[in-house]
Amino acid sequence: MKQSQLFTKTRREAPKDEVSKNAQLLIRAGYIHKEMAGVYDFLPLGLRVLNKIVGIIREEMNAIGGQEVHMTALQDKGKWEATDRWSDKVNDIWFKTKLKNDTELGLGFTHEEPLTSIMKDHIRSYKDLPKAVYQFQTKFRNEARAKSGILRGREFLMKDLYSFSIDEKSHNIYYAKAKDAYMKIFNRLGIGDQTFVTFATGGSFSKYSHEFQTLCEAGEDLIYIDEKKKMAVNKEVLNDEVLNDLGLSRAELVEKKAIEVGNIFSLGTKFSGALGLNYRDESGKDIAVNMGCYGIGPSRVMGTIAEVWSDDKGLVWPESVAPFKVHLVAIFGKDTASGGAGKVRQAADELYASLTAKGVEVLYDDRDCSAGEKFGDSDLIGIPWRYVISEKTLATDSIEVKDRKTGTVEMKKLK
Ligand code: ATP
Ligand code: MG
């Protein structure tokens, strides 16, 4: 893509009402636009990053047998009354709306109820299980505080997978697979080293649930980590009994701020029981399906990467999620300052064409502006590899290659 064609512009100053680093950087670099607190638009660069994150998650969900669907945001009150989750007293994060005839509807904040209902049409016998179904979908949550940029949206993207098994034993096998898949995802997203599997309360159907917590000063959660064992517990379960159970010792644990990037949970028969999702076993008996749910917020993950991988100059995207792999920055000499077809422009155009033809994703800064402005923008946008082409580099038939992460500079021959 040619930068002269990109409609977004960078800006020097962050918006005054934005306190979080992720949103400040992402807005300044033109990745996102703020509609209001907790509500953000994804612009071309931002959407490219979000889609890369989604792509990685999708591959790993497919690898554990997930089947992708896309469910509705509008929610039928009856299903949520059946599980006692409709009332604002039980759940105060609902956004609700009404039809013209006054029928109440909700905007989904999660999707256990509607998916359990869908599965009732399709699961009949033990032969139909296990199954796993997932989606990437916009969730709505009336969050009390929304000061963390895209880490905490009131409207945000979630990947939610739900598993359906014959019993707890079979569920536990799938749950372990999903847990592994989650760590694979965070490794591929470039935040594996900072991300801890964190034991949290399990609800009524299992001893623990697991959160995936990425160490970060911007995090809203406090976790207690054992660095050597790469394990952590959250505040709710920090007690002698749990530590004993997990073989952890309080003296070894360090308190850290962290961002919950993912959460997996055993649901047992809570939803299948309430909504009547049963299967028929070999003896002809109807039994409630055993369920699990597995969430990741791709938009929160994007904000987390922006927090973890940035410096005083701007964003530093890991290659796996960067909007482009190469930022080709052409420094036009005097002969091309007027936009004419000078030597540098010609060489840069050719390099852009040949890289693109090879399938390399390139953002080509072909704008007529100063070198200083181009380098500043390039640091801010944070593409992993910067290729500089100028009269000076062409004198040796070379380009300058700079690694955004390490700052290492190398000259490479053009041919
Ligand atoms: P939190 O405790 O941070 O409010 P949660 O426990 O309510 O999150 P879950 O219901 O487990 O979140 O949602 C699954 C995943 O969706 C989370 O792990 C997180 O990655 C993402 N997520 C949850 N709430 C938000 C939000 N408001 N904005 C962006 N992502 C979110
Ligand atoms: Mg959670």
Cα–Cα–Cα angle for 176, 181, 186, rounded to 5 degrees = 130
Cα 69 to averaged position of ligand 2 atoms, centre (Å): 22
Cα 410 to averaged position of ligand 1 atoms, centre (Å): 42
Q: Taking the complete model, does pTM exceed 0.95, yes or no?
A: yes
Is the CB–ligand 1 distance for residue 260 below 6 Å?
yes
**Which structural domains are found in the chain, ordered by start?**
3-314 (3.30.930.10), 326-413 (3.40.50.800)
Maximum C-alpha span of the chain = 85
Check: CB of residue 229 under 8 Å from CB of residue 248.
yes
Cα 19 to averaged position of ligand 1 atoms, centre (Å): 20
Is the CB–ligand 1 distance for residue 296 below 6 Å?
yes
Contacts within 8 Å (CB) and 24+ apart, 349-356: 351/387, 351/389, 351/399, 351/414, 352/2, 352/328, 355/326, 355/328
Residues bordering ligand 2, an ion, CB closer than 5 Å: 263
Query: In tens digits, what is the pLDDT along the chain, a chain of 415 residues?
Result: 999 999 999 999 988 899 999 999 999 999 999 999 999 999 999 999 999 999 999 999 999 999 999 999 999 999 999 999 999 999 999 999 999 999 999 999 999 999 999 999 999 999 999 999 999 999 999 999 999 999 999 999 999 999 999 999 999 999 999 999 999 999 999 999 999 999 999 988 899 999 999 999 999 999 999 999 999 999 999 999 999 999 999 999 999 999 999 999 999 999 999 999 999 999 999 999 999 999 999 999 999 999 999 999 999 999 999 999 999 999 997 755 555 558 999 999 999 999 999 999 999 999 999 999 999 999 999 999 999 999 999 999 999 999 999 999 999 999 8
CA 257/CA 100 separation, integer angstroms: 46
